[in-house]
Amino acid sequence: MTIQSHITGGLIFGAAFTARLILFHFSNITETLGSRIEIVTPVTSFTRLTEGLYLFENGVPPYDGGAFHQAPLLLACFQLLGYLPVIFTKLTFILTDLILAYYLTDITRMKQQLYCHFPRLKVELKTKEIDPWIVAGLYLFNPFTIASCLSKSTIIFTNLSIILGTYYSLKNNKSYGMFWIAMASYLSFYPFMLVLPTILMLINDAESKGKNIKSEIFSCAGLYAGWLSGLLLLSYFLVGSWDFLEATYGVILLLPDLTPNVGLFWYFFIEMFDQFRSFFLVVFQIHAFIFMVPVSIKLRNHPLFSMFLLSGIMAIFKSYPSIGDASLYLAFFPIYSEIIKYMRYNFLTTNIFCYCSILSPIFYHLWIYAGSGNANFFYAITLVYTIGNIILLVDATYAMFRREFDIWNPDLRNYEIIQK
Amino acid sequence: MAFHKFFLIQFFAITIIICIIISQISFAQNNESIIDGFFSRGGHTNNWAVLVCTSRFWFNYRHIANTLSMYRTVKRLGIPDSNIILMLADDVACNPRNSFPATVFNNAGRYLDLYGDNVEVDYRGYEVTVENFIRVLTGRVAPDTPRSKRLLSDDRSNILVYMTGHGGNEFLKFQDAEEISSFDLADAFEQMWEKRRYHEVLFMIDTCQANTMYSQIYSPNILATGSSKLGENSYSHHMDTDIGVAVIDRFTYYNLEFLERVDMQSKATLQDLFNSYNPSFIHSTPGVRSDLFRRPLNKVLVTDFFGSVQNVELTGQQYNISNSDIGHEINISDIKMTEYHSKESPRESEKSTSKNFHLFNVNSKQSSSLPQFLIASILFGILIKLVSSII
């Protein structure tokens, strides 16, 4: 790490910090962004968190109101923050973003270290690999990240937990790695599908060190189960009853709240007849989780990439997605910057992201406020956004496999692979 | 070795904290069971009254007066008009022969006008028929029947059914053209029981040979009382010479004499009411049928049937209703009970308690668990660190 890269890093972080701080001081930014449905969802909204906190502090069970659907530990955290001046809440969100970016640089460094022994393409020998600070900068200055941070959406804590889990798993620290993934799946339900890549990361060195793989897997799974039940027990002691399970995971799984968001679920379930609802709920939820095993199996030698892929799948197919989820998998994407040259649809996906970012607020306004559009306008843009995400993921997967094939089979480098 | 010792100590610490928190939770549960007990006492939660006068014509003035007197009594003791079905077969107040138009009296002294501003007659004139009466009881009314003409009772309703008119051996005459038999009545009550339309019924009848009317009832939880037995007539009490006809029947008169001394707080029982019947005064033998009735009559309050008394019990302790009252328990006895009915002290006591009014168990257990939660979470963090260094 040269001094120059340190300076770059310092500049990036400083600029990100000041940008966020300045934007926070625009008086209404949290309310404005916090009311945008692409950015906050019923399970990550800061206004609902304040509602739940108010009820909690006045002795009313916070989950009775039906508005608050977030984990009880967030209640405890923000109750403590409530005793400090207002600036500390904003600082918490900004610092979470910065810590996330910092650990992202560490992850990039570790990945580059792990892959340094792999063969490389000729073109790659001339250029340097991506600077970890640039990766952090790409995350910090991603408009999705900034919007998510400024709206005080609590998805940022889930993202931080996932990044920390990845970091510690790459460092082969089982206890911490499993703890942070347990924390992530405790906060939102879907990071459960990241357990498999995490375990794969942890057992990567096991063969070389001669440990028994099966016992490693069992200890990882046991640790995960233990930390998760510890967190649930801690939440039980905080709110005094088990009804938080129904209010948090029940809402994520059973979708009682059909507020529009950038996901696929709400439109479908608004028009669903009751007798089919449970069937389609099962189908949609299984669809989200079904990618866990195949992706992990195929990418067992590249668990970080499967982490990226599954985070992307999570961002598209979870029940209440937001652009904060997209910012997470887009954070992982520059780490594998070497595959970008193989990707075919860069222009298309970039355009789709810009197009959707501009049109979806417009169509939402047309639908809700102007009354001259209807839900189909907004849902269509949501679908286009989903397609953009999927094209990005599929393209990245293709690029990854193609590059893998190319570096291990140099004689077949320019040949097109077809299936007979 | 010192490592594992630390681990053990911390494990014990966590267990102790868990026990403390669970005991706090169970203490909260205790309070709730006491409160639940208040609401599950008694057996009925609402009261209804079906008051039927079956005879028309001017000379049956006293039957209208009987029914209106019972109407006034049950209203006075708390049953609202929405829960009373009043059936009057004739309108004597506006009868051209009434020297005191728009009034009905039950006493020659004319102290009390029963037909004041506050009378709601649900079935009037020719609407009082056997069919309508049975339809009201069983609930099988036409779909366009208004709410005021329906008996909307449920399985926790105590119903008073009072009938008066001309009757005989196991029949009661309606409107001079038809009659209801005791079997019809018994079957109507059985239909009510099968549809769980009552919790308990007090059937009171003031006619000639009244006791025969309840002889065929076979449904549970029905208490019946009648004015005269088989072969006996029931007599009117006295006549008002200015009105020109008898104004009250003897059985109803002596019932009213007892009931006028009853108010909503009264603890008088039905046994007291039935003991007050004096056959030499009533000039007939009143009867009581209690074989179908579960409870002993000396435990049944008069207001269980004639009134609508809600259960209110005062707790001995002030109830914490907001966080500002943590550890600040005042006994109710400190606020003087005798002054409670005056106008000053309710306002004072309102000022001393907080403005937030919550309808459920809101004690301060939620916020006070935060320090324990913090300790538990710190210990949890230490546990994670330890496990990471061991594994």
What is the structure's pLDDT at B21?
A: 52
* Structure confidence at residue A237 as a pLDDT band (50, 70, 90): confident
Instruction: Name the residue type at position B252.
Output: T
Name the residue among B356, B372, B388 with its Cβ closest to that of A173. B388
What is the structure's pLDDT at B199?
A: 93
Average pLDDT on A211-228 reads: 89
Burial zone of B230 (CB within 10 Å; 0-12 exposed, 13-18 middle, 19+ buried): middle
The answer to which of A271-280, B97-106, B151-160, B307-316 has the lowest mean pLDDT is B307-316
Give the residue among B184, B171, B169, B167 at the shortest CA–CA distance from B218.
Answer: B184
Q: Which helix (H) or strand (E) holds A360?
A: helix A346-364
Residues 6 or more apart in contact with residue B247 via CB below 8 angstroms: B61, B62, B65, B105, B106, B107, B108, B236, B237, B238, B239, B240
- Looking at chain B, the whole-number percentage of residues with pLDDT higher than 90 is 62
Q: What tokens does B34 get?
A: 């006491």
A138 SS3 class: helix
In a domain, A340, yes or no: yes
Q: List all residues of chain A from 184 to 223 with a beta carbon under 8 Å from chain B.
A: 219, 223
Phi, psi (deg, nearest 5) at residue B200 = -145, 150
Residue in B closest to A169 by C-alpha: B388
For the cut 60, the answer to whether the pLDDT of residue B325 exceeds it is no
Q: List all residues of chain A from 70 to 109 with a beta carbon under 8 Å from chain B.
A: 76, 79
Q: What tokens does B257 get?
A: 């004499």
Q: What is the pLDDT of residues B37-77, one digit of tens each?
A: 555 455 788 999 999 999 999 999 999 999 999 999 999 99
For the cut 80, the answer to whether the pLDDT of residue B7 exceeds it is no
In a domain, A408, yes or no: yes
For the cut 90, the answer to whether the pLDDT of residue B336 exceeds it is no
Identify whether the C-beta of residue A237 lies closer than 8 Å to the C-beta of residue B373: yes
Residue pointed to by tokens 């029949």: B171
Beta bridge partners of B181: B171
Q: What is the pLDDT of residues A344-399, one digit of tens each?
A: 999 999 999 999 999 999 999 999 999 888 899 999 999 999 999 999 999 999 99
What is the structure's pLDDT at A214?
A: 85
For the cut 80, the answer to whether the pLDDT of residue B236 exceeds it is yes
Q: What tokens does B251 get?
A: 């059985």
What is the structure's pLDDT at A24?
A: 92
Count A/B contacts: CB-CB distance under 8 Å: 62
Q: How far apart are CA A263 and CA A266, in angstroms?
A: 7
If you count them, how many residues does chain B have? 391
Using an 8 Å CB-CB cutoff, list chain A residues near B365: 59, 240
Q: Which of B208, B283, B328, B341 is catalytic?
A: B208
Q: How far apart are CA A14 and CA A26, in angstroms?
A: 19
Residues 6 or more apart in contact with residue A215 via CB below 8 angstroms: none
Burial zone of A84 (CB within 10 Å; 0-12 exposed, 13-18 middle, 19+ buried): exposed
For residue A292, CA distances in Å to A8, A244, B231 come to: 37, 26, 90
Q: What is the pLDDT of residues A41-93, one digit of tens each?
A: 999 999 999 999 999 888 888 898 788 999 999 998 999 898 899 899 999 99
For the cut 90, the answer to whether the pLDDT of residue B249 exceeds it is yes
Using an 8 Å CB-CB cutoff, list chain A residues near B374: 76
Identify whether the C-beta of residue B144 lies closer than 8 Å to the C-beta of residue B276: no
For residue B33, CA distances in Å to A67, A133, B361, B363 come to: 29, 61, 11, 15
Beta bridge partners of B105: B113
Query: Taking CB atoms and an 8 Å limit, are A237 and B391 in contact across chains?
Result: no
**Taking the complete model, does pTM exceed 0.80, yes or no?**
no
Give the residue among A44, A59, A64, A37 at the shortest CA–CA distance from A247.
Answer: A64
* Structure confidence at residue B17 as a pLDDT band (50, 70, 90): low
In a domain, A357, yes or no: yes
Beta bridge partners of B205: B163, B226
**B208 is an active site residue:** yes
The answer to which of A153-157, B190-194, B330-334 has the lowest mean pLDDT is B330-334
In a domain, A417, yes or no: no
Q: How far apart are CA A63 and CA A53, in angstroms?
A: 10
For the cut 50, the answer to whether the pLDDT of residue B27 exceeds it is no
In a domain, A286, yes or no: yes
Q: List all residues of chain B from 311 to 350 with a beta carbon under 8 Å from chain A.
A: 322-323
Q: How far apart are CA B222 and CA A214, in angstroms?
A: 74
Q: Which residue has the higher pLDDT, B84 or B31?
A: B84
- Greatest C-alpha distance within chain A: 71
Q: What is the pLDDT of residues B71-129, one digit of tens each?
A: 999 999 999 999 999 999 999 999 999 999 999 999 999 999 999 888 999 999 999 99
Most A CBs within 10 Å, among B31, B366, B380, B385, to test the A interface: B366
What is the structure's pLDDT at B317?
A: 76
Computed over every residue of chain B, the mean pLDDT equals: 82
Give the residue among A34, A40, A43, A35 at the shortest CA–CA distance from A247.
Answer: A43
What is the structure's pLDDT at A121?
A: 84
* Structure confidence at residue B13 as a pLDDT band (50, 70, 90): low
CATH class of the domain whose range is B46-306: alpha beta
Instruction: Name the residue type at position B271.
Output: Q
Q: Which residue has the higher pLDDT, B30 or B101?
A: B101
Query: Taking CB atoms and an 8 Å limit, are B377 and A223 in contact across chains?
Result: no
For the cut 90, the answer to whether the pLDDT of residue B295 exceeds it is no
* Structure confidence at residue A122 as a pLDDT band (50, 70, 90): confident
Q: Is A24 on the interface with B (CB under 8 A)?
A: no
Give the residue among A392, A414, A387 at the shortest CA–CA distance from A402.
Answer: A414
**Three-state secondary structure string covering chain B:** CHHHHHHHHHHHHHHHHHHHHHHHHHHHHHHHHHHHHHHCCCCCCEEEEEEEECCCCHHHHHHHHHHHHHHHHHHHCCCCHHHEEEEECCCCCCCCCCCCCCCCECCCCCCCECCCCCCCCCEEHHHCCHHHHHHHHHCCCCCCCCHHHCCCCCCCEEEEEEEECCEECCEEEECCCEEEEHHHHHHHHHHHHHCCCCCEEEEEEECCCHHHHHCCCCCCCEEEEECCCCCCCCCEEEECCCCCCEEEEHHHHHHHHHHCCCCCCCCCEHHHHHHCCCHHHHCCCCEEECCCCCCCHHHCECHHHHCCCCCCCCCCECCCCCHHHCCCCCEHHHCCCHHHHCCHHHHHHHHHCCCCCCCCCCCCHHHHCHHHHHHHHHHHHHHHHHHHHHC
Q: What is the DSSP string of A278-346?
A: HHHHHHHHHHHHTTHHHHHHHTTT-HHHHHHHHHHHHHHHSSS--HHHHHHHHHHGGGGGGGGGG-S-H
How many domains does chain A divide into? 1
Q: What is the pLDDT of residues A136-194, one digit of tens each?
A: 999 999 999 999 999 999 999 999 999 999 999 999 888 999 999 999 999 999 999 99
In a domain, A418, yes or no: no
Cα of A334 vs its chain's centroid, Å? 15
**B166 is an active site residue:** yes
* Cα end-to-end span (Å), chain B: 16
Give the residue among B328, B308, B304, B307 at the shortest CA–CA distance from B317.
Answer: B328
Give the residue among B106, B116, B132 at the shortest CA–CA distance from B52.
Answer: B132
Computed over every residue of chain A, the mean pLDDT equals: 91
* Structure confidence at residue A105 as a pLDDT band (50, 70, 90): very high
Range of the domain at A375: 3-412
What's the DSSP call for residue A192? Answer: G
Using an 8 Å CB-CB cutoff, list chain B residues near A236: none
Q: Give this complex's ipTM.
A: 0.72
What is the structure's pLDDT at A101?
A: 95
Query: Taking CB atoms and an 8 Å limit, are A240 and B364 in contact across chains?
Result: no
Most B CBs within 10 Å, among A175, A209, A219, A229, to test the B interface: A175
